[in-house]
Chains A and B, each alone.
Chain A
């Protein structure tokens, strides 16, 4: 199952529309959490918003996740070792307040299991390939480094 998510804060109809258009050619079930978008998909199952529990269940059961370039979603993909295809929101299209998702994608592009699609054509190509799961030890080291740095400071204050 492919899980599509656009996060909880802003609609992302360009991504939802692209996945809906691709759905018939992909040959796998797709579920999309479309947020506050105004576009109702026809070719895939969807919901505006799932409960946290239900979202987790779907996430854990997905073979691939397609998402806006939201950090929360990338973290989840790494934690659950899922391949993730990111489509960055663009401020020029009114999809976010600025283009930080482009910067996020520029940094994450090429990481294991993280793929960036700039348009619907890229999405179609990527989703027909075999994708690797996200998450590796170097990323875990970075995470521990941050936690340790904060722990030291908090210890100094306590």
Chain B
């Protein structure tokens, strides 16, 4: 299990296998291009069996890279999005193999599934 993240957060109890990820959000869209390039390089280097992301922008780009490179992809929309999917979650819905919301009323029984939630 390898974690790629924009922040190093020892408090979340992550193991030492953490890789840095460039931050991307819609306030600075120009960062998406280099970030996507780095995501491609990252997936090529790690060659994971599955990529799981809860978003947001940076995770989405790694999933796109994974999909292009033939890696299994999972999106778990953050439990913070209780009223509607996040913007990145909405975009991920179109291409990931397994797409979950953590709220039953946001699952549609087809593309977006519900299994439970973190809290």
Contacts and interface: CB of A to CB of B under 8 A. Distances in A.
A146 interface: yes
Sorting the interface of chain A by its residue count into under 10, 10 to 19, 20 to 34 or 35 or more gives: 35 or more
Contact of A97 (B27, B81, B117): B27
B116 A143 contact: yes
B10 A101 contact: no
A141 B10 contact: no
A103 B25 contact: no
B25 A97 contact: yes
Interface string B39-76: 00000000001101000000000000000000010101
Interface residues of B, number: 31
Given A97-B25, A104-B82, A146-B116, A157 B7 contact: no
B94 interface: no
B110 interface: no
Contact of A141 (B27, B50, B82, B116): B116
Per DSSP, chain B at the interface is loop
Interface of B: 7, 9-12, 25-27, 49-50, 52, 72, 74, 76, 78-83, 86, 98, 100, 102-103, 113, 115-119
30 contacts: A8-B7, A8-B9, A9-B7, A51-B10, A52-B10, A52-B11, A52-B12, A53-B10, A56-B11, A72-B12, A74-B119, A75-B118, A75-B119, A97-B25, A97-B26, A100-B86, A103-B81, A104-B79, A107-B82, A139-B119, A141-B116, A142-B117, A143-B119, A146-B100, A146-B118, A147-B116, A149-B100, A150-B52, A150-B76, A157-B49
